[in-house]
Amino acid sequence: MNNELFLIGAATAGHQVEGNNTGSDIWAMEQMKYGGYPEKSLDAADHYNRYKEDIKLLKDAGLNAYRFSFEWARIEPKEGDFCQKEMQHYLDMVRFCKDNGIEPVITLHHFASPKWLIEKGGWESEIAIEAFERYTKYIAQNLASEDIHYICTINEANMGNLISIFIRQAIEQRKKLDGESSSMQIGLNLDEMRKEEEGKISENLEVFGCENPAVFVSPRTQKGNEIIMKAHQAAVKVLHDMLPDVKAGLSLSLRDVQATAGGEERAAKDWHDEFEEFLPAIIDDDFVGVQNYTRARFGACGELSPEEGAELTQMGYEFYPEGLENVIRKVHEAFKGEILVTENGVATDDDTRRVEFIKRAFEGVKECIADGIPVKAYMYWSLLDNFEWQSGYSMKFGLIGFDRKTMERTVKDSLYSLGRICESYQINV
Ligand code: GCO
């Protein structure tokens, strides 16, 4: 079913909504003094126990698809030791979707990894390729009798690359500033910083057995990018061999990169780092998942801040729903397979702005489809307010809110408005 329908749904990621993903690297970092997570995920939205209620809300509002992730750390808590009970949990979720006429779009890896993988070298080690392949095989065996159409191997495979570029730019910026003055006139306590660095190293050694744990969301080397691409390709092969009806791909975080006068070269370089670098490894995939939240404008001196007076989201991004259409068009110039919008959304406390964001973003999707671009799905990020990684629970992306004490859900108007879009836009593709 549903393969002929245009999919309109919402997305979540296990670690951000389930709660108590205790075997994962991110959970471990949340407990650390220098782990970079000021707030802990704890019970999150307790989606692990309440997924039925949440999927029912999505269905009742009129949506027809749900993208969610399997948590590798639960399914393979020790290396090579798979937990059938946890696998069954995800199979139950898949069946619950199916029974309710909701198309499940499964992500195999969404940022969190098993802690043991990081202890063995993580995403900078070839071990990750073999481990991810073995995990994918186990999943494929278990999904053999399910009617699944789309599996996303790795969420935002380009994230580590983007993080390392961002850090490099920040250092260059710092150097420029320092170069301009004869002494560093800034109230930093270098002694304190050094102590903190030492503390971080010894804590990493204690928790992960290495000084710089290569978690998925840490800066990536060129070799690390290649490892991620190889892991993805190995997983796609497994899926094609074992589940021939499944379409496989990965997702990328893609800003709408724009150049103002003089910024053409920098904009082109940025698009290369976000997208083109990964193209050779995905060119033959069935689909690519596009994840867009805003635009990035470049001038002769680099990235520009949003214009004076521009509306900003809670994340500090420019409110710019038109970015999605531009990104889809740019991706399609180079990638001829299907395009799924696997994430698009806005963090705001004002749900009327979310309704507006979705409406305008979806207008762009319709234009792309009208021009023959094979866009097959639009998934809003996110179904639920959730644990936004290092920003904790303060960012409100959800179509559904929840009370952190009682876990009681509050459906926002934006869920119904997306449901109405879905009902009025059932085209055959
Ligand atoms: C990401 C993730 C999500 C985020 C979302 C909002 O891509 O970063 O897929 O986990 O929560 O993008 O920032």
The position carrying tokens 């593709």 is 429
Q: Is residue 334 situated within a structural domain?
A: yes
CA 188 to ligand 1 center in whole angstroms: 32
Q: Which of 58-67, 89-98, 186-195, 309-318 has the lowest mean pLDDT?
A: 186-195
Q: Is residue 256 situated within a structural domain?
A: yes
CA 295 to ligand 1 center in whole angstroms: 15
Of ligand 1's atoms, which has the minimum distance to the CA of residue 315? 13
Q: Is residue 168 situated within a structural domain?
A: no
CATH code for the domain of 74 = 3.20.20.80
Q: What is the mean pLDDT of residues 118-126?
A: 98
287/249 Cα distance (integer angstroms): 5
Residue to substitute in 290, 343, 389 for testing ligand 1 pocket (most ligand atoms within 8 angstroms of CB):
343
CA 145 to ligand 1 center in whole angstroms: 30
Q: Is residue 61 situated within a structural domain?
A: yes
pTM of the shown model: 0.95
**Pocket lined around ligand 1, Cβ cut-off 6 Å:** 13, 16, 155-156, 253, 291, 343, 381, 388, 397
pLDDT digits (tens, 9 = 90+) for 284-336: 999 999 999 999 999 999 999 999 999 999 999 999 999 999 999 999 999 99
Answer whether residue 85 shows pLDDT above 90. Answer: yes
Structural domain containing residue 321: 7-158+222-424
Q: Is residue 288 situated within a structural domain?
A: yes
CA 381 to ligand 1 center in whole angstroms: 8
Q: Is residue 201 situated within a structural domain?
A: no
Of ligand 1's atoms, which has the minimum distance to the CA of residue 345? 6
Ligand 1: which residue has its CA nearest to atom 6? 388
> What strand order describes the sheet that includes 295-299?
256-259, 295-299, 302-303
Of ligand 1's atoms, which has the minimum distance to the CA of residue 397? 6
Q: What is the mean pLDDT of residues 1-7?
A: 69
Number of domains observed in the structure of the chain? 1
pLDDT digits (tens, 9 = 90+) for 28-55: 999 999 999 999 999 999 999 999 999 9
Q: Is residue 107 situated within a structural domain?
A: yes
- Where residue 181 falls among pLDDT bands split at 50, 70, 90? very low
Q: Is residue 172 situated within a structural domain?
A: no
